[in-house]
Amino acid sequence: MVEELLFCVIVFLAGLVRGISGFALGLLGLSLLTNLIDVHVAIALIALLQPIVTSILLFYYRQSINFQEVIPIAICSFIAVPFGVIVSDTIDDRLLLYFLGIIIIFYVLYCWFTPRLPEVKASGWGYLAGLTSGFFSGAYNSCGPPLIMYANSCQWNPEEFKSNIQGVRICSMIFAVVVHGLNHDLTSQVWHLFIPGILSVCLGVMAGIFVSNYLNPIIFKKVVLVLLLITGIKLFF
């Protein structure tokens, strides 16, 4: 009972962070859930939750999406998803967690120091961001880091930032679920956790959207980054 409650709290918090920031559901949820359930079960579960969460945010920010920017990146992301899924099923669990920890720490350090990158002009960087985000989406259900770096380089405003990221993610996330299904990753344990998971994450996302209108996003972002850094480091022990 305690573990089930803790599971719902973790998924709710991951959804809350996603609702406020527009990303980090995979990073935060996966890094914390691996303390309760098998890493492969956590990956498959997050894969099921991602398209629903992304659809909610995409609908909310639908007025700001730039299809000219999103479509080519989404296509590249779509292509790379199967390779990520294959890697996640062939690599040893500990190596998987170590690699995830490295991704989280790198991501936190990037966000913490917030480097001012030059504005991206060439579309090639968008294709690269799409490919790498699709790979991470399939492997770890976290395509955030490459997309966040690319989005910052494009200097999108906050509304474009959130809407374009959801636009890219929705295709790769849906495809990731299909590939996980074909790969027999959607086990009975995953489906058993799906119902409490979807209820918790949707509540978290809606709460995050509401809170984002009143909470200082800079302070909250720093708190989230500290928590992510702690969980990222914990994956090595």
- 141 in helix, strand or coil? coil
Region 63-91: what's the mean pLDDT?
Answer: 84
Question: What local confidence, expressed as pLDDT, does residue 161 receive?
Answer: 77
Q: 3: which 2 tokens? A: 């573990």
Ranked by mean pLDDT, the top range of 56-70, 135-149, 215-229 is 56-70
Which H, E and C letters describe 179-228, residue by residue? HHHHCCCCCHHHHHHHHHHHHHHHHHHHHHHHHCCCCCHHHHHHHHHHHH
pLDDT band at 232 (very low <50, low <70, confident <90, very high): confident
pLDDT tens figures, 116-150 = 655 665 567 788 888 888 887 777 666 666 777 78
How many structural domains is the chain composed of? 1
Q: Which domain holds residue 44?
A: 2-234
What are the residues whose beta carbons fall under 8 Å from the beta carbon of 227, sequence distance 6 or more?
28
